[in-house]
A and B are shown apart, each in its own frame.
Chain A
Amino acid sequence: MAHAHDAHAHHDEHHGPDKGIMRWIKTTNHKDLGTLYLFFAFTMFFIGGLMSLVIRAELFHPGLQFVQPEFFNQMTTMHALVMIFGGVMPGFVGLANWMVPMMIGCSDLALPRVNNWGFWILPFAFAMLISTLFMEGGAPAGGWTMYPPLVLQTGNAFPFLIFAVHLMGISSITGAINVVVTILNMRAPGMTLLKMPLFVWTWLITAYLLIAVMPVLAGAVTMLLTDKYFHTSFFAAAGGGDPVMFQHIFWFFGHPEVYIMILPAFGIVSTIIPTFARKTLFGYDSMVYATASIAFLSFIVWAHHMFTVGMPLAGELFFMFATMLIAVPTGVKVFNWVATMWRGSMTFETPMLFAIGFVFLFSIGGFSGLMLAMTPVDFQYHDTYFVVAHFHYVLVPGAVFSIIAAVYYWIPKWTGRMYNEFWGKTHFWLSAVFINLTFFPQHFAGLAGMQRRVPDYAVQFTDWNVMSTIGAFGFFVAQFIFIGNMLASCFGWFGRKQDLPNRVWEGAHGLEWTVASPAPYHTFEDPPTIGDDEITAVHDNPAHAH
Chain B
Amino acid sequence: MSTVRRNHVLRLLFVTAGMFGFGFAMVPLYNMLCDSLGINGKIELQAAKVASAVVDTNRTVTVEFVTTVNGGSPWKFRAEQPSIDVHPGKLYTVSFYAKNTEDHDLVAQAVPNIAPWDAAAHLKKTECFCFNNQPFKAGEEKHMPVVFMLDPELPADVDRVTLSYTFFDVSDVALKSTKEP
Chain A interfacial positions (CB closer than 8 Å to B): 110-111, 173, 177, 180-181, 184-185, 211-220, 223, 231, 233-234, 236-240, 242, 244-245, 248-249, 252, 310-312, 315
Interface digits, B9-39 against A, CB 8 Å rule (1 contact, 0 not)? 1001101111111111011001100100101
Point out the residues of chain A lying under 8 angstroms from B100, CB to CB: none
| Size class of the contact patch on chain B | 35 or more
* Chain B residues with CB under 8 A of A217: 23
22 contacts between A and B (CB under 8 A): A111-B1, A173-B16, A177-B12, A177-B16, A181-B5, A185-B2, A185-B8, A211-B15, A212-B19, A214-B19, A215-B22, A216-B19, A219-B21, A219-B22, A219-B23, A231-B176, A237-B166, A237-B168, A238-B170, A249-B23, A310-B115, A312-B37
CB nearest neighbor in A for B42 = A242
Q: Which residues of A contact B30 (CB under 8 A)?
A: 242, 245, 248
- Distance between B159 CB and nearest chain A CB, rounded to angstroms: 18
Which of B12, B15, B21, B70 is close to A181, meaning CB atoms less than 8 Å apart? B12
Q: Beta-carbon contacts of B155-170 to A below 8 Å, as 1s and 0s?
A: 0000000000010111
The minimal Cβ–Cβ distance linking B118 to chain A, given in whole angstroms, is: 8
Find B12's partner among A211, A231, A239, A311 (CB 8 Å cutoff).
A211
Residues of chain A lying within 8 A (CB to CB) of residue B20: 215-216, 218-219
A513 to B130, CA, bound (A): 71
Separation of A218 and B21 alpha carbons in the complex (Å): 10
A-B complex: 8 closest residue pairs judged by Cβ atoms: A219-B23, A238-B168, A215-B20, A215-B19, A216-B23, A177-B12, A237-B111, A181-B8
Which residues from chain A contact B41 at a C-beta distance below 8 Å? Answer: 310
- Asked whether any CB of chain A lies closer than 8 Å to the CB of B51, the reply is no
Partner of B16, one of A215, A223, A239: A215
Chain A residues with CB under 8 Å of B83's CB are none
C-alpha spacing A223/B30, complex, angstroms: 15
In the assembled complex, how far is the CB of residue A381 from the closest CB belonging to chain B, in whole angstroms? 23
A25 vs B23: C-alpha distance when bound (angstroms): 34
Choose from B5, B18, B166 the contact partner of A185 (Cβ within 8 Å). B5
B54 at the interface (CB under 8 A from A): no
Chain A residues positioned under 8 Å from B42 (CB to CB): 242
Main secondary structure of the interface of B (DSSP, over half): helix
User: Secondary structure at chain A's binding surface: helix, strand, loop or mixed?
Assistant: helix
Assess the B9–A181 pair: CB atoms within 8 A. Answer: yes
CB-defined contacts of A110 to chain B, threshold 8 Å: 1, 5, 9
Cβ–Cβ contact A185 & B4, under 8 A: yes
Extra inter-chain contacts (6) besides given A177-B9, A211-B19, A214-B16, CB under 8 Å: A211-B12, A211-B16, A216-B20, A231-B172, A231-B176, A242-B40
Q: Does B13 lie within 8 Å of A177, measured CB to CB?
A: yes
From B2, B16, B26, B109, give the contact of A238 (CB < 8 A): B109
Residues from chain A with Cβ under 8 Å of B115 in the complex = 310
Q: Across the two chains, which residue of chain A brings its CB closest to B45? A: A240
Min CB–CB distance A261 → chain B (angstroms): 19
In the complex, what distance in Å separates the CA atom of A238 from the CA atom of B166? 9
Which residue of B is nearest A114, CB measured?
A: B9
B117 within 8 A of A: yes
How long is the Cα–Cα vector from A252 to B19 in the complex, in angstroms?
A: 11
User: Closest CB of chain A to B13's CB: distance in Å?
Assistant: 7
Q: How far is the CB of B37 from chain A (nearest CB, A)?
A: 8
Q: Which residue of the partner chain B has the closest CB to A216? A: B23
Q: Give min CB distance, A151 to chain B, whole Å.
A: 14
Q: Which residues of A contact B170 (CB under 8 A)?
A: 238-239
With CB as the reference atom, state the residue of chain A lying closest to B173: A231
CA distance A231 to B23 in the complex (A): 19
Contacts of A180 in B (CB 8 A): 8, 12
Are the CB atoms of A312 and B39 closer together than 8 Å? Answer: yes
Query: Could you say which residues of chain A place their CB within 8 Å of the CB of B173?
Result: 231, 233, 238-239
Return chain A residues, CB-CB under 8 Å to B12.
Answer: 177, 180-181, 211
- Report the separation of the CA atoms of residues A217 and B26 in the bound assembly, to the nearest whole angstrom: 12
Closest to A181 in B: B8
Nearest CB on A from B3, distance (A): 11
In whole angstroms, how far apart are the Cα atoms of A111 and B90 in the complex?
70
Query: Which residues from chain A contact B31 at a C-beta distance below 8 Å?
Result: 242
Q: Is the CB of B26 within 8 A of A249?
A: yes
Residues of A within 8 A of B16 (CB): 173, 177, 211, 214-215
CB neighbours (8 Å) of A213 from chain B are 19
CB neighbours of A219 from chain B (8 A): 20-24
Q: How far is the CA of A177 from the CA of B19 in the complex (A)?
A: 14
User: Which residue of chain B lies nearest to A185 when distances are taken between CB atoms in the complex?
Assistant: B5
